[in-house]
Structure 1
C-alpha cells in the first residue's frame, strides 16, 4: 500500500511540474541587474561603472559637482548620504539627488555612510539601522531602478566582530526586499571595506543566495591592503572564478595604511570588465586631503590624483561608456575630424597659451571635448573636459622644451587622430626679486615606509611666483612610492618636485604644500630631509 501511494504521488508530481513551469511568467528585468559576474541594464546591455564618489552629505550645496563629474566623462557617481550620524539627508534631498543623477545622465550609487567602521568606531550605525534609513526615503526612490543602485551601508564593520558581517548583511538584504526595493543592491566588505580577513570573499555565495532577486553586487575597497599586483589579481580572480559580481567601490592612489597599486587596479578592472569608483571628488580632510581629485570642487583644477584617474591609462575618459538608458547606446562610430595644429603664444618661464582650429563631428553625437597632451620625455595627459579651442598651460618648468598635440572626442567616445605637434621652449625666468623656501614634516611612519606632509613652499621674494621647483635627496635605499600636489621626478636619490597649475602662483609671503610617501629599508629612520627651492 505504501508503495502504491508513492507511485501515485510521483504520477501527480509529473503532471504538476510541467503545469507550474508553463504557468510561471518569464522573468523581466526591472532595471540594473546582475548577470553572472556582470552588471547589465534592463535591455541586457553590459554596464561597467567608471566613476567617483562625491561627499554630498557634508557638501549639500555643491550640487554642481554632478555636472562637473559628468563633464570629465564619468558614467557613475557614488553619493554619500547619512541618516543622522552626520547631517541627515531626508527624502526631499534624496529626491533632488536622484533628479541630478538623471539630468546629468549618471548612474548613481547611493550609499549610507552611517555604518562606517561599526564595531570599532564610536557612533557607527548597524546595517539594520541603515535599512531603516532607506525605508524612510523610499518615496524618493520609487521607479528609479534603471539608474539608481543602493549601497546599503559603507564599510559596515571595522576590524572587530567581523564574523557577524555575513548574517548582518544577509538580514539587511532580506529586509530591503521585504520593504519592496527592487533595485540592484551593493554590499561593502568588512575590515573597513578591504576584506583582508576574506570574510566577504568566502561568504559571498551564501549572501548572494539570500537575495530573493539574486540582484546583489559586492564591493571591495582597495587601499593599503592592495599594494601589490598579486593581491589585486588574486582578489578579483576569486570572484570571477566563483561567478559572482564585484565592483571596486573605492580606491585611491595613496593612503596612510600603505600605497595602493592604482595602476594595476585600473588595468585589471578594465581587462576583466569590472567597475571601479575612485575616492573622491573633493572636500577630503583629516589628513587625506591628497585624495581630492579636484581642488575646491573645481573641475578645471585637477590634482595629480584627478589627472591619473580621469585622464591616465585605463582611466575614466578612456574607458567610460554612458548607460544606454540615457541614450549612450548610440550607433555613432564616426570619429571627429583631426583638430588643427596648435599654436603657442604668450610663452613664459612657467606657461603658454595654445590655440587650434576646432574639430568637427558628422556622426550625430556632437563634440564632447578635447584632450590636450604635452610631452616632456613621456606623454602626460593634461586636460580633456571642454570643447574650447584654446588652453593656457601653467606650472611648466623654466628653460624646458615641450611638445603639444591635440585630439578630439565626441559624445559617443570616438577619438580623432592626433593633430600635428607644436614645439615650444619656456623662457629662463628669473628677475623680480623671486625666491622661496621649503620645509617638510614626517606625518606618519610604519615599518618599511613613511609619509612626509606637508612640504611647505613659501614665496620669500618681493613679487609673485608663477611656479616653483623643490629638490631634495633621499637617503640610500629610500624610494618615492607616491606623491600629491606636485609632479615628482627622480634621478638616483635626487628628487625634483614641480608645482602644478593650481599651486604654482604664490603672492609674496604666501605658501603652498605638497606631500610624498616613501619606502625605506627595515630599521632605517624616516626623514623629512632638507630642501632647495627655486621660484620662477
Structure 2
C-alpha cells in the first residue's frame, strides 16, 4: 500500500458472466502449495492465513513487530520489501525469514515498488520485480515451507488494467524458469481492487500459466467493497470456479463509504479463506493503523476489530503445522456458516466520531505569517477520486494553518489523513494536525483525502491562512 489509500474508493461495476474450469492441484510440491482453492502445507494440512501487513521497508528497525504480531495471535505476516527501483533494495531477506521462523509465522514477502504500474510513473514492472526475486534466490531456496512470494504489490493501476494478464503470466513463467518452486501470490490490478474484473475474468489463464500449478490470487479490498453484496458476489465467483484466493489487504468500515470489514472477516471464516489486514502501523492514520506507533498495548479501533472482534485473528487463527500447530480454530461450525449479523459490529469498540463532525478549535491568522496551498487530483475513477493538498509557509515560520475551499460541483470529502477536515455543504475547511502545523519559512506539508463526485470534478480555488 504505502499510498495512503491510493487504491480505495473505486466504484463497483456490474459483473460479467464467465464459465471457466477449475485449477489443478500442485504436484510434487516441496512446501506450501495450492490444492483446489485451498493453501496446504507440504504434509497436506490446510493452512488458512490469519495475519497482517508489516511495512518493513520503511521501518526496518521495527523488528520487534514480528513477535508482537505473533503475540496477538497471527499465523502469518505480509512483509513489505523494496526492489531498489523505488524503495530499498531490501537486502535483509535472510534476517526477515529468521524473524518469521523464530516467531512461528508464515512469511509472505512482497515487492512494493510495482504499486500502480502504468498509472504511477515511478512504479516498477512485474518483470523488474522478478529480477529482484532472482537476485534473492539463494536466500529463498529451501524456505518453501515457510515463505510465500507475493511477486509484486498491486502491480497495475487503473490505466490499461488489461495489461495485467500478460504481465502476470510472464512474471510467473519467469519465476518458474529460474527455478522457484515456492507458492506464488499475485495481486489484482486497479491498485489491487480489480474493479474492472480483469483478474476475475482471466484467473484461469493466469493459473494455467504456472507449470507448478502453485499460484494463489490476491484481492485487496477497500472502498470498492463497501457492501456485503459486493464482497460476497466477488468471493462467490472464485469459490464457484475453485480458484485459490486470499484477501491480501483490507481496512475497516469507519464510515458507510469504507470497506465492510465485518463481512470480509465473516465470509473469510465461513469459506476458509486467508486474510491479511493492512497494516500493523506506519500510516499515521487510524483508518489503516492497527496500533499506535507500533505499540501492541495501544490497539486502534481497527486493531481491536481485526484481532479481538468476531471472526478476527484471535478467534480463528491456527498456527502452521510446520511449527507444531495442531489446535483447531475456535469458531464453531455454526458461527462460520454465515456472516455475523450487523449487531456483532458493536462487540468491538465503536469507531471514534467522524473526524469531519466538527472542526478543530479555531486559530486566528497572525500578522506577517502567510501560507499558500495547492490542490492536486492524484487519481480519479467513476464516482471517486484521491487528492493531495500541499501547504507551504511564506517568508516567515508558521505554527499552524487552515485551508479552505468551496466545491462547485457537489463533491464530498469522504476520508482524509494528516489533517482535520470539516465540510458544510460545498464549503470545506481543513486544519493541521499536531505534527504538521509548524513549518519553517518556505517549508511544506502535504495531506490527502478521498472524495466522491458525479458528473464534473473541477479543481476548486484554495485559500490558506497561517497562525
- TM-score (norm. length: structure 1): 0.59
How many residue pairs match? The answer is 347
C-alpha displacement of 1:161: 1.6
Q: Which residue in 1 is equivalent to 2:297?
A: 300
C-alpha displacement of 1:87: 3.8
Structure 1 residues 207 and 520: alpha-carbon distance in aligned structure 2, compared to 1, 3 A threshold: closer
Structure 2 portions without partners, runs of 5+: 1-25, 331-344, 353-358, 363-401, 426-432, 434-448, 457-467
Q: Which residue in 1 is equivalent to 2:316?
A: 319
| SS across alignment from 1:299 | strand
Residue 443 of structure 1 contacts residue 452 of structure 1 at CA under 8 Å; is this kept in 2?
Answer: no
Q: Which residue in 1 is equivalent to 2:270?
A: 271
Q: Which residue in 2 is equivalent to 1:426?
A: none
Residue 233 of structure 1 contacts residue 268 of structure 1 at CA under 8 Å; is this kept in 2?
Answer: yes
Q: Which residue in 2 is equivalent to 1:81?
A: 81
| SS across alignment from 1:163 | helix
Taking the aligned partners of 1:113 and 1:28, their CA distance within structure 2 comes to: 30
Taking the aligned partners of 2:323 and 2:305, their CA distance within structure 1 comes to: 27
Taking the aligned partners of 2:329 and 2:68, their CA distance within structure 1 comes to: 24
C-alpha displacement of 1:163: 1.2
C-alpha displacement of 1:307: 0.7
Equivalent residues in 2 for 1:102-501, closer than 5 Å:
102-254=101-253, 258-285=257-284, 288=285, 290-329=287-326, 379-380=347-348, 438-439=360-361, 450-451=414-415
C-alpha displacement of 1:183: 0.3
Taking the aligned partners of 2:218 and 2:328, their CA distance within structure 1 comes to: 31
Q: Which residue in 1 is equivalent to 2:463?
A: none
C-alpha displacement of 1:450: 2.6
Structure 1 residues 438 and 125: alpha-carbon distance in aligned structure 2, compared to 1, 3 A threshold: closer
Residue 119 of structure 1 contacts residue 158 of structure 1 at CA under 8 Å; is this kept in 2?
Answer: yes
Taking the aligned partners of 1:127 and 1:304, their CA distance within structure 2 comes to: 35
Q: Which structure has the greater CA radius of gyration?
A: 1
Taking the aligned partners of 1:257 and 1:83, their CA distance within structure 2 comes to: 36
Residue 411 of structure 2 contacts residue 451 of structure 2 at CA under 8 Å; is this kept in 1?
Answer: no
Larger RCO: 1 or 2 (CA < 8 Å, sep 6+) = 2
Structure 1 portions without partners, runs of 5+: 1-25, 334-376, 383-394, 396-436, 458-471, 477-484, 486-515, 524-536
C-alpha displacement of 1:84: 0.8
Residue 95 of structure 1 contacts residue 140 of structure 1 at CA under 8 Å; is this kept in 2?
Answer: yes
C-alpha displacement of 1:86: 3.7
Taking the aligned partners of 1:256 and 1:48, their CA distance within structure 2 comes to: 29
Taking the aligned partners of 1:83 and 1:453, their CA distance within structure 2 comes to: 27
Taking the aligned partners of 1:174 and 1:324, their CA distance within structure 2 comes to: 29
- TM-score (norm. length: structure 2): 0.67
Taking the aligned partners of 2:219 and 2:141, their CA distance within structure 1 comes to: 27
Structure 1 residues 94 and 443: alpha-carbon distance in aligned structure 2, compared to 1, 3 A threshold: farther
C-alpha displacement of 1:380: 4.2
C-alpha displacement of 1:520: 12
Residue 49 of structure 1 contacts residue 75 of structure 1 at CA under 8 Å; is this kept in 2?
Answer: yes
